[in-house]
Amino acid sequence: MQQLKFNELNNMKTILLTVFSLAVSLASFSQCNDIFMSEYVHGWSANRAIEIYNPTSNSVDLSAYQLKRYSNGSTSASSLYTIQLSGVVPAKGTFVIVSDTAQGTVWDSLYAKADTFVCPDYNANRTFFFNGNDAMVLFKGSSVVDVIGKVGEDPGTVNGANNGDPDYGWPTGVPVAWTIDHTLIRKSTILTGNTVVQPVSYVPATEWDSLPIHSFDDLGSHTCDCNSIGVEENSLDLNFVVYPNPSTTGSITILAAESAEKVVVYSVLGKTIIEKQLAKGTTLNKLSTNGWDKGVYFVSLNFGKGKISTKKVTIN
């Protein structure tokens, strides 16, 4: 009976394939159409780096972009705290920017990962002397492309901590800061930069995974769901369906032709709504949508061995 229902729904999806594929492609493009910061390194001495990821299918010239450091809760960044970027980020590739300072030594393992070096002289430019409590903002012209931190907030002051205390940088909700003495990697479900420079609160754990200090191995590559969105929708091999779609019932049902290992639901802005490991052999799942805002969401099933399929669902 379950297989029959899947076949019926699959036939209906095939009829609507052309229109639906176009909608998914447009939604994907709107989220994966500009570069963003994909890795952040704060280490001892001069070991500082930021990796930029390009989710698009075309190379991106960085000469149109700037990085600014908003130091210690400042709401402005002078030319001393601004660097004009240069170089090219390849399609679906990364570009690693590493500090090059006379006041400290970059470790060989980080040095080898660099595509470019910046800020060799503290007195000439201080952008890459960030200390875990400074907001870093990527601009394209006057438009904000991405933000790490919260402009205008010194998290050490907010948390009543001093340099060296566990709450000195932005915290995760527990007394451990993620933006000081850590390497941060953007979650694969993040499809676009964060353009809100002054959120009510900034909790990096919502967008970043944390690695110990001086973890440099992942620099130079990035995994992003931008590479998989729409792939299955543009194929007649529709290996799972989501219904009702649009949904007004307070829930959605996911029916797959084979068992999946994990389901992830994220908003059109790339925010993770649900991330759930599935029991072995699971082909049918019902998810509550109570509390979700009305709008478009993406449901992603991970079938293992690198096979990921993503569908769009509308909640009304």
* The model's pTM: 0.64
Same domain, 96 and 208: yes
Q: What is the pLDDT of residue 236?
A: 31
Domain count, the chain: 2
Domain end, chosen from 174, 193, 222, is at 222
CB 184 within 8 A of CB 178: yes
**What pLDDT sits at residue 31?**
78
Residue 265, judged by CB atoms within 10 A of its CB (0-12, 13-18, 19+), counts as buried
| Claim to verify: residue 72 and residue 87 sit in the same structural domain | yes
User: What CATH number is associated with residue 250?
Assistant: 2.60.40.3080
Q: What 3-state DSSP class applies to 259?
A: coil
Do residues 19 and 82 both lie within one domain? no
List the domain range (segments joined by +) for residue 290: 2-30+229-315
Asked which of 196, 222, 248 is the last residue of a domain, the reply is 222
Rg (C-alpha) for the chain, rounded Å, is: 21
Residue positions counted in the chain: 316
Residue type for position 300: S
Beta strands (DSSP E) in the chain are 36-42, 48-53, 60-61, 65-70, 82-84, 88-89, 94-99, 116-118, 135-140, 143-148, 182-186, 208-212, 240-243, 251-256, 262-267, 272-277, 284-288, 295-304, 307-315
**Pair 110, 71 in one domain:** yes
Claim to verify: residue 136 and residue 274 sit in the same structural domain = no
119 shares a domain with 41: yes
Strands 262-267 and 295-304: antiparallel
Instruction: Clarify whether residues 239 and 181 are in a common domain.
Output: no
On whether the CB atoms of residues 36 and 26 are closer than 8 A, the answer is: no
Same domain, 92 and 209: yes
Contact at 8 Å (CB) between 225 and 191? yes
Per-residue pLDDT of the chain (316 residues; tens, 9 = 90+): 555 555 555 554 443 333 333 334 434 445 788 999 999 999 988 899 999 999 988 889 999 999 999 998 899 999 999 999 999 998 889 999 999 876 668 999 999 999 999 999 989 999 999 988 899 999 999 999 999 999 998 886 655 555 555 446 666 555 566 788 889 999 998 999 999 999 888 888 889 988 888 999 999 999 898 875 543 333 333 478 888 988 988 999 998 888 888 898 877 666 788 889 988 888 888 999 999 988 888 888 888 776 777 788 888 8
Final residue of a domain: which of 194, 222, 250?
222
- Do 169 and 255 lie in one domain? The reply is no
**Of residues 214, 206, 232, the one with CA closest to residue 311:** 232
Structure tokens at 232: 């299955």
* Residue 197 CB contacts under 8 Å (≥ 6 apart), including other chains: 135, 137, 144, 147, 150, 151, 152
Residues 301 and 235 in one domain: yes
Same domain (yes/no): 236, 309: yes
One domain for residues 287 and 201: no
